[in-house]
Amino acid sequence: MNEVVSNKVQVMDRFYQKKGNKIKCLLCRHYCKLKDGQTGVCGVNKNEGGHLINLVYGKISAFNIDPIEKKPLYHFLPGTTALSIGTVGCNMQCSFCQNWQISQVRKVEEQEVVMPEDLVKLALKYNSKSIAYTYNEPTIFYPYARDVALEAQKYGIKNVFVTNGIESEEVVRDMKGIIDAANVDFKAYDEKYYRRELKAPFSVRETLKLMKQTGLWVEVTTLIIPEVNDAPEHLEKIAGFIADELGTETPWHISAFHPDYKMRDRGPTPRETLEKAYDIGTKKGLKFIYIGNLGLLNTTYCPNCHVPLIERRGYQLLSYKIIDGKCYNCQTKIPGIWN
């Protein structure tokens, strides 16, 4: 557990290193080197007296009971709800962020701290089968998420990250046995785009591979933005990486962009673009591809006999025919976490 010192939460030593008169934060791939009194690019992790202080520990800015399909996770406890939380701050600066009102905030307000045991009590009250760390980038409040997850495990509640994928290697390795699943945004296959537009290192590929190696259930989301990452050759690289490095059983969510925040200079993603992306993924061998943000019917088919197993529209589950993790028709094992 992280230590409370003078009403401030001091992060465990494993997530920072002392470097002379500075400390190096190990929570994400920025690896910020902080002088005493300095805060990292996320705005919420600070060097105070040679210790890393997480300024948003338990300071929840967003709270909802969401369908797990909203994360989106389609092969993880379908039809259940996730108690979903976020704080303020982020380690990226996406101009199209839909949660910019909290993610781009760098001032942490004084507010009541929700302790891990109290949050888990809420999950039990609402019969949520999982807790999702989402809305803003959860690796920046990993010290809190970790403590909540360990408490949740005592009651059989699973834990989910919805993330931009620039966790540090140290955090991803620590997630093993603590975090059960992750939906990772793969925003573009372009290092310059990550550094220039998102102000972040291009490390999502390494994070995804490491998450798979450590045993997390992983699903990938690509928000397809017109004139940014919608070129066929670009989508082929993303789909090819998923198929070759993560496995063809990895679900790929291709989502429609809607103008928001600072990116209001273009229209929504045409349905035809998403359908082309679907075809590209299919040709690369991906077995589970889903089109998001358009309210379409999204069906999980058995990869062996091709019968429909799960039908969804939006966040609503319409039918469910997976039995003991297998196709009801041919008993092929369907990849995912089903109970």
Write out pLDDT tens, residues 10-66: 888 899 999 888 999 999 999 999 999 999 999 999 999 999 999 999 999 999 999
Whether 48 and 96 share a structural domain:
no
Number of separate domains in the chain = 3
Do 104 and 211 belong to one domain? yes
Do strands 45-48 and 51-54 pair parallel, antiparallel, or not at all (unpaired)? antiparallel
Can you tell me the mean pLDDT for 260-277?
A: 95
Q: CATH number, domain at 247?
A: 3.20.20.70
The answer to whether 54 and 26 have CB atoms below 8 angstroms apart is no
Last residue of a domain, one of 258, 276, 294: 294
Q: Are both 114 and 252 inside the same structural domain?
A: yes
Which pLDDT score is estimated for 173? 97
More confident residue, 19 or 256: 256
Residue 1's pLDDT band (cuts 50, 70, 90): low
What local confidence, expressed as pLDDT, does residue 169 receive?
Answer: 97
Above 70 in pLDDT, residue 5? no
Q: What per-residue confidence (pLDDT) applies to 3?
A: 64
Average pLDDT, stretch 196-206? 96
Residue 6: pLDDT above 70? no
What tokens appear for 66 in the block? 């969401």
Domain shared by 218 and 330, yes or no? no
**pLDDT-derived band at 241, boundaries 50, 70, 90:** very high
Residues 132-138 have a mean pLDDT of 97
Q: In Å, what is the CA distance from 58 to each residue of 30, 84, 157, 218?
A: 23, 13, 18, 26
Please indicate, yes or no, whether residues 183 and 287 belong to a single structural domain of this protein: yes
Tell me, yes or no, whether 12 and 43 share the same domain. yes
pLDDT category, 106, cuts 50, 70, 90?
Answer: confident
Tell whether the model's pLDDT for residue 253 goes beyond 90.
yes
Does 72 sit behind a cis peptide bond, omega within 30 degrees of 0 on the bond before it?
yes
Q: Are residues 250 and 269 in the same domain?
A: yes
- Condensed to tens digits (0 to 9), the pLDDT of residues 321-337 reads 999 999 999 999 999 99
Same-domain status, 22 and 146 = no
Predicted pLDDT of residue 166: 97
Task: For the chain, give the percent of residues with pLDDT over 90.
Answer: 92
Checking if the pLDDT of 188 tops 80, the result is yes
Q: How many alpha carbons fall within 13 Å on the CB side of residue 329?
A: 12
Segment (H or E) for 248: none
- Shared domain for 168 and 243, answered yes or no, is yes
Q: Which residues pair with 256 in a beta bridge?
A: 224
CA distance 207 to 148: 22
Domain limits for position 225: 62-294
What tens digit of pLDDT does each residue of 228-240 get?
Answer: 999 999 999 999 9
DSSP β-bridge partners for residue 130:
82, 158
Same domain? For 93 and 211 the reply is: yes
Same domain membership, residue 18 and residue 139: no
> Which pLDDT value is given to residue 244?
98
- Chain centre distance of CA 202: 16
- Mean pLDDT, the chain, rounded, equals 95
Q: What is the CB neighbour count within 10 angstroms for residue 50?
A: 12
For residue 283, which phi and psi values (nearest 5 degrees)?
Answer: -65, -25
Are 265 and 317 in a shared domain?
Answer: no
Q: How confident is the model at residue 179 (pLDDT cuts 50, 70, 90)?
A: very high
The whole-number average pLDDT for the span 289-311 is 97
Is the pLDDT confidence value at 4 over 70?
no
